[in-house]
Structure 1
Amino acid sequence: MMLQRPDADAMLATAGLDGEMAAGTRPGLAAALAALENERGLSPAGRERALAQFEDNLARLAAIARDRADHPEIADVVIDRPVFILGLPRCGTSILHALIGADPQVRTPLQWEVAAPSPPPEADTFDTDPRADGFDAYAAANFTGAWADVLKAHPIGARVPQECGMMLETAFHGINPSMLFSLPGYYAWYRDADTSFGYRVHKMWLQHLAWKNPRKRWVLKVQEHAYHLPELMSVYPDAVLVQPHRDPATVMASISRLIEVIRCVSFEEIDRPALGRELLHLWHDGQVRSMAWRKANPQIKVHDLRFKDIVADPVAAVRGIYAHAQMDFTPDTENAVNSWWAANPADKHGQHRYELADYGLTREQVESVYADYIAAYRDYL
């Protein structure tokens, strides 16, 4: 039986979005709702979870827009040479983001402030804002049972740096709906869309968060930037790009396990081989786009590095990024990096275990699909 599709315009109106904000958000929202209608694997609870997530996305964007309307000076906040960490999932991007985010001169979006952005955070109360404790309480209540395994692979906490995807998805120009709820129709729309509006919203977020709590530089990360580097660079022409690399066979096993755990609360059952095939090609799509863009824009230098080198010597890895980004690597920076590394061992929440064969994949299959990536970045694998 076909489920009734919620109306995109009604959802936008309920959230209080109109004008440019509604017009820019509507195409992606409509694509997500259409894909949700056609997704048969979701449980009833999973479908409710998806709709609640969509409504939350719109509410967060509306909050940003209202504060901006009330305080037009937010639009004047300068975002200077932001550093974007690219790359496949599971190749050290989150580690780098957190290592650099520990530096007091650096600003990363934190999970609590992206979840509850209004009113804009302030420097004087940033470390004691009750919204942080509220986020931690939410995480403690929700990341339990089967979902607790998420913590073995991906850190969740109020003061943990948040990925850009949680900001891009408020404009429905991010990949998160596909990660959480499959939705292949939405992924096809996202992959081929012009996401310029999404990156304008992304900049609105950074200006909003920095207005009363600035730092010298922003450092950001999410794997989906690979799909839309032209749009990213159109909004941030002075962006600095960093890309760690890792053996794609290991990447595919690890991300398949993580997405299986993330989706397990929303699906009646997970078809592991189908999940493996989906993610194998989905993430390769992004690298095809990224490699083509890099080849066409050799004047924009990207700092490549190996996952193995990040875990072997995190201080040296961060120092290299700072040199590339023309950032000051101070004694405080080194102390912050060492302190974070000591406090966050890889197995802090238990071992994240995965096997490629669990998802119907072989090393030969992965290396065949990723032959172009392996050839391009062999020295960094």
Structure 2
Amino acid sequence: MTGIAADLSRCPTPQELMDMAASQTGVDDFGDPARNAGLAALVESIERGSWQGMTDQARALAIDYLTHQLVTRLRLVADRKAYPEIARQTIEAPLIVVGPPRSGSTLLHTLLSLDPDNMAPEHWICREPSPPLALGTPTQERLDAAEKRMMDLFSLIPDVFVTHPYMIEEGSGALAECGSDILSLAFTAQQLWCWWGDDSYRDYLLKADHSAAVGLHHDFLQHIQWGNTGTRWALKGSDHMLWLAELAAQYPDAKLIWTHRDLSQQLASLASVQAILLGLNGHPVTPEARRAQGRKAMEFQWAITDKAMKSREAIGDDRFFDSNYHELMADHVEGVRRIYDWAGLTMSDRHADAIRNWLANHHQTKHGQHRHSPEEFGMSAERINEQFASYTEKFGFGFGIRPGMTV
């Protein structure tokens, strides 16, 4: 590293990060300035919060990550100028999974992606999207660069592979999240709060107008659609609950799929995953830090859920399909078929067979057991069911509660 990047005693400013990215690419057009609001909020949060407690290795990785996101932004804008066909791509009626983390959304997204007619972004193209696919097959060097960048970051948090086992076998070829892998280009992602953010960044995510960031999401899909052979996007992002109104406005014909799971399982799993991510500060995560992060995760998830429910009321229930995790696990093919029936689509035999074949080769605990319990994070049925009462009333899910059970 050179210049400010070599000075790990302080967090670089947004402008310094942008200058570093520009020096690496030779261009300086980052697109709509409104898409920089997340960077300013995140850097302020890092500087005030996690920076002082990070090791030099963790600081260097953070700077590299932030700079690379900006480098990617610069390249996307440059490609869009050079190839007008990108902006002419139409994103039609995407299937978008919008449920909370650890509610079966990744599994459902995977099953949707197995339809030969569907397109689903992968990690590598979110990290190395330029040049566009229409210009030729990506080189091995490009794929290797994406793989290394992902593994370097995760080297500080090896337990992430138990919670996300697909990363072991598929690496950067694994399916990407809309939030952590695409909207993070606008520095608007819940994952960034888990990694480095404090209360100020959490409040930014909850209160800001994210239209500009969702617009970047749309531009990114246009970019990677040019040269793709699919006909319909299958997307997933638990972060979408933070900006459902903006998402529904950007994609008025989108089919929105909200995943639900018993909160005693979903919230404990979420708290455990977010506690693991604390390792990105370079230090071992203590039991006390795990419990504290678990409590913060639970409070944040309620705030997100409450906001999403209010947005959904304004959008209209008819735009949403509610997917029951427990029913999906009981019969994966029928679970997906119900979604297709609701969306006015026909599930092909090829798709059903692909789901069965995938499930036969991917067992949930193949790479280790993700162990966690609600008690570990101070979660009680009484407290959760009181806090999530309006959610339980509407959808039938609570702590130890599923539709059809007596509360």
Within the alignment, does 1:23 sit opposite 2:62 as a pair? no
Match of 2:174 in 1: 160
Write out per-residue CA displacement over residues 82-121 of structure 1, whole angstroms, 9 at most, x where no aligned residue: 1110111101100011111122211000111111111112
Shift of residue 238, structure 1, vs aligned partner: 1.0
- Which moves more between the two structures, 133-142 or 53-62? 133-142
Match of 1:54 in 2: 66
CA, structure 1 residues 42+133, in 2 after alignment: closer, same or farther (shift >3 Å)?
closer
In the TM superposition, what are the counterparts of 1:276-291 in structure 2 within 5 Å? 276-291=294-309
Shift of residue 142, structure 1, vs aligned partner: 6.1
Q: Secondary structure at the match of 1:219?
A: strand
In the TM superposition, what are the counterparts of 1:41-190 in structure 2 within 5 Å? 41-122=53-134, 125=137, 131-136=142-147, 143=154, 147-154=157-164, 155-156=166-167, 157-165=171-179, 166-190=181-205
Distance in 1, matches of 2:150 and 2:43, equals 26
Distance in 2, matches of 1:185 and 1:326, equals 42
Which residue identity lines up with residue 211 of structure 2 in the other structure?
Answer: S
Q: Which of these residues, 358, 362, 368, is aligned with residue 344 of structure 1?
A: 362
Distance in 2, matches of 1:234 and 1:141, equals 36
Write out per-residue CA displacement over residues 8-46 of structure 1, whole angstroms, 9 at most, x where no aligned residue: 123224323756725123321111111111114433433
Q: Secondary structure at the match of 1:329?
A: coil
Match of 1:12 in 2: 18
How many percent of aligned residue pairs carry the same amino acid?
Answer: 28
Give unmatched runs, 5+ long, in structure 1. Answer: none
CA, structure 1 residues 178+139, in 2 after alignment: closer, same or farther (shift >3 Å)?
closer
Aligned-residue RMSD, C-alpha: 2.4
Which residue identity lines up with residue 36 of structure 1 in the other structure?
Answer: I
CA, structure 1 residues 284+324, in 2 after alignment: closer, same or farther (shift >3 Å)?
same
CA, structure 1 residues 323+45, in 2 after alignment: closer, same or farther (shift >3 Å)?
same
CA, structure 1 residues 50+360, in 2 after alignment: closer, same or farther (shift >3 Å)?
farther
Maintained 8 Å contact 1:229/1:290: yes
Distance in 2, matches of 1:136 and 1:51, equals 18
Match of 1:261 in 2: 276
Shift of residue 132, structure 1, vs aligned partner: 3.5
- Which moves more between the two structures, 267-276 or 227-236? 267-276
CA, structure 1 residues 18+289, in 2 after alignment: closer, same or farther (shift >3 Å)?
farther
- Which moves more between the two structures, 342-351 or 353-362? 353-362
Distance in 2, matches of 1:265 and 1:13, equals 25
Q: Secondary structure at the match of 1:218?
A: strand
Q: Which of these residues, 33, 50, 56, is aligned with residue 43 of structure 2?
A: 33
Distance in 2, matches of 1:202 and 1:97, equals 17
Distance in 1, matches of 2:374 and 2:185, equals 33
- Which moves more between the two structures, 35-44 or 91-100? 35-44
Distance in 1, matches of 2:74 and 2:214, equals 16
Distance in 1, matches of 2:218 and 2:291, equals 38
Match of 2:211 in 1: 196
In the TM superposition, what are the counterparts of 1:209-220 in structure 2 within 5 Å? 209-220=224-235
Higher RCO, 1 vs 2 (CA within 8 Å, ≥6 residues apart): 1
Which residue identity lines up with residue 172 of structure 2 in the other structure?
Answer: A
Match of 2:6 in 1: none
Match of 1:319 in 2: 337
Which residue identity lines up with residue 27 of structure 1 in the other structure?
Answer: A
Q: Secondary structure at the match of 2:159?
A: helix
CA, structure 1 residues 194+356, in 2 after alignment: closer, same or farther (shift >3 Å)?
same
Which residue identity lines up with residue 65 of structure 1 in the other structure?
Answer: V
Which residue identity lines up with residue 14 of structure 2 in the other structure?
Answer: A
Q: Which of these residues, 387, 395, 404, is aligned with residue 369 of structure 1?
A: 387
Distance in 2, matches of 1:260 and 1:60, equals 28
